[in-house]
Structure 1
Amino acid sequence: MDDKQQRLFTAARDLFLANGFKATSIADIAARANVAVGTFYNFYDAKSSIFLAVYNAENERVKRAILANVDLTADPATVLRTVIRQIFTQSADNLILQEWFQNPKLNRQIAQANQNAVADSVVYATLLTLIDRWQVQGLLAPTMTKARAVSLFNALTVVDFHQSEIQTDDYFQVLNDLITGILKVVLK
């Protein structure tokens, strides 16, 4: 990567993490990278283009961090709780990754640019790794499909994004109860 392109990428990542996509302008990125705005267009045709590159890199970084810190051979319930907690922790304050869930326009652009965007996302990639392991180990319930298992676990993400609507003083216990219930259906 050219030095100016690397500076633009780093500046964009820093600004998207701090301010989010909408509050970051091309002028902000160029100023932070110490290049002219015109230089930005030598490498990227739009703010969404650089965001896509940053999103993909951030997604990979977080995916590696989660998988590096989880013993995938441990008890499935423990592994899943740890992975879900890690996904929520890693994504909670990450304005780059939150765009996947909160910005439908960017979500579509990410999906169009990356044919495997859903499968490559932090949530799906991690869950698919777990489900594949469980399938190889013969731990999945006989009628459980991979797609159905992913859908059940994906529902946890939806619940998490609406946690403020759940009237409880112990949200993480509710989340653990949901995980326990899902595991009873998914595993033998």
Structure 2
Amino acid sequence: MEEKQTRLFTAAHDLFLAQGFKHTSIAEIAEQAGVAVGTFYNFYQSKFDIFIQVYNAENEHAKGSILATVDLDAAPADLVKTIIQQIFAQSAHNQILQEWFSNPQLNALIAKTNQNAVEDSLVYATLMQLIDRWQARGLLKSGISKQRIISLFNALTVVDLHQSEIQTDDYYQLLNDLIAGILAFILK
């Protein structure tokens, strides 16, 4: 990244974190970065464009910090539950990550923009490793392919992408129930 682009990105990150997407303007981002508003448009097409990039970086950072603190050799049900709990805990106090849960318009835009984000993400790569570990430890039911297991977990991503359409007061519990069902299906 160019130096001005880095300053814009950092300013956007700090402002989105402090005041959220809705209450942050391009003019504020440019001012905090010490550049003219016109310079913003040399690097980003819109506030949505820079937010998506900030969101992706923040999301991967949060996932990395979560995965660095968990025991990947823990019992699968406990491990997955811990990871999900930590995702929700980190998102609860982070206005950037909260936009995924609270802003249906941004949720849809993130999903549309990041069509390959699932496969490219740290969590997906970790899931691939976990499935291999579980298989090596003899924890998986026979006859269930790795691809089928991946498809089941990918279905959770589809649910998450459409969470604003799901009518529930406890999305976290719904997600835990679905994960428990998948684990009950794939584990011995």
Instruction: Give aligned pairs, total.
Output: 180
The structural deviation recorded for 1:119 is 1.9
CA contact (8 A) 1:55 1:96 kept: yes
Alignment partner, residue 80 of structure 2: 80
CA separation in 2, counterparts of 1:148 and 1:19? 41
Q: What residue number does 1:165 align with?
A: 168
Correspondence for 2:113 among 98, 109, 127: 109
Q: Is the 8 A contact 2:64 2:122 kept in 1?
A: no
Task: Assess, with a 3 A threshold, how the Cα gap between structure 1 residues 152 and 89 changes in structure 2: closer, same or farther.
Answer: farther
Structure 1 counterpart of 2:117, one-letter code: A
Give the Cα–Cα distance (whole angstroms) in 1 for the partners of residues 109 and 133 of structure 2: 34
Structure 1 partner of 2:182:
182
- AA partner of residue 47 (structure 1): K
Partner of 1:10: 10
For 2:119 and 2:178, how far apart are their aligned partners in 1?
23
- Call closer, same or farther: CA 1:81–1:66 in 2, change over 3 Å: same
Distance across 2 between alignment mates of 1:79 and 1:40: 42
2:68 aligns with 68
Deviations, residues 41-80 of structure 1 (Å, cap 9, x unaligned): 2322322332232223212211210111011012222212
Gaps of 5+ in 2: none
**Partner of residue 43, structure 1:** 43
Which whole-Å CA distance do the structure 2 matches of 1:90 and 1:150 have between them?
Answer: 25
Q: Tell me, in whole angstroms, the C-alpha distance in 1 between the residues paired with 2:131 and 2:97.
A: 22
CA distance in 1: counterparts of 2:43 and 2:55, whole angstroms: 16
Alignment of 1:94-133 (within 5 A): 94-100=94-100, 102=104, 103-111=107-115, 116-121=116-121, 124-133=124-133
Q: Which moved more, 1:121-130 or 1:45-54?
A: 121-130
Normalised TM-score (structure 1): 0.73
TM-score, length basis structure 2: 0.73
In structure 2, C-alpha distance between the alignment counterparts of 1:128 and 1:91, rounded to whole Å? 24
Instruction: Give how far 1:97 is off.
Output: 3.3
Distance (Å, rounded) in 1 between the aligned partners of 2:180 and 2:112 = 32
**Does the 8 Å contact 2:30/2:37 carry over to 1?**
yes
Equivalent in the alignment of 1:56: 56
Q: Give how far 1:109 is off.
A: 1.9
CA distance in 2, matches of 1:141, 1:117: 29
Whole-angstrom distance in 2 between the partners of 1:177 and 1:100 = 20
- Offset of residue 178 of structure 1: 5.4
Q: Is the 8 A contact 2:21 2:99 kept in 1?
A: yes
